[in-house]
Amino acid sequence: MAVRGDDIQRAKQLLTTGRLVAVPTETVYGLAGNALDPRAVASIYEVKNRPTFNPLITHTNSLEKVAHYVQYVPPLAQKLANAFWPGPLTLLLPKSPALPDIVTAGSDRVAVRVPQHPLTLSLLQQLDFPLAAPSANPFGYISPTNADHVQEQLGDKIGYILDGGSCSVGIESTILGIEDDAIVVYRLGGISVEELEKIHPKVQFNKHDAEEIPAAPGMLKSHYAPTKKVIIGNLIDLLPQYATQRVGLISFKNIFSQVPEEQQRILSGTGDLNEAAQRLFSALRQLDKLPIDVILAELVPNYGLGRAINDRLMRASA
- CATH fold of 3-205 reads DHBP synthase (3.90.870)
Q: Looking at residue 10, what is its pLDDT?
A: 98
**For 111-120, what is each residue's pLDDT tens digit?**
999 999 999 9
CA-CA distance, 245 to 297, in Å (whole number)?
15
pLDDT band of residue 165 (cuts 50, 70, 90) is: very high
Contact 297, 250 (CB under 8 A): yes
CA-CA distance, 180 to 245, in Å (whole number)?
51
- The DSSP symbol for 56 reads -
Q: Phi then psi for 250, rounded to 5 degrees? A: -120, 110
Where along the chain do the CATH 3.90.870.10 domains lie?
A: 3-205
Q: Percent of the chain scored above 70 by pLDDT?
A: 95
Where along the chain do the CATH 3.40.50.11030 domains lie?
A: 229-317
Q: Looking at residue 221, what is its pLDDT?
A: 57
The DSSP secondary structure of 109-174, one letter per residue, reads EEEEE----HHHHHHHHH-SS-EE--BSSSTTBPPP-SHHHHHHHHTTT-SEEE---S-SS-SPPE
Contact 132, 55 (CB under 8 A): no
pLDDT, average across residues 36-58: 95
Length of the chain in terms of residues written: 318
Q: Which ranges of the chain would DSSP assign to H, the alpha helix?
A: 8-16, 38-48, 63-66, 75-84, 101-104, 118-126, 147-154, 193-199, 235-241, 273-288, 306-317
**For 273-315, what is each residue's pLDDT tens digit?**
999 999 999 999 999 999 999 999 999 999 999 999 999 999 9
pLDDT, average across residues 70-79: 96
Contact 158, 31 (CB under 8 A): yes
The model carries a pTM of 0.93
Give the distance, in angstroms, between the CA of residue 234 and the centroid of all CA atoms in the same chain. Answer: 26
**For 135-156, what is each residue's pLDDT tens digit?**
999 998 999 999 999 999 999 9
Q: Looking at residue 219, what is its pLDDT?
A: 57
Whether CATH 1.10.1610.10 fits 229-317? no
CA-CA distance, 258 to 284, in Å (whole number)?
20
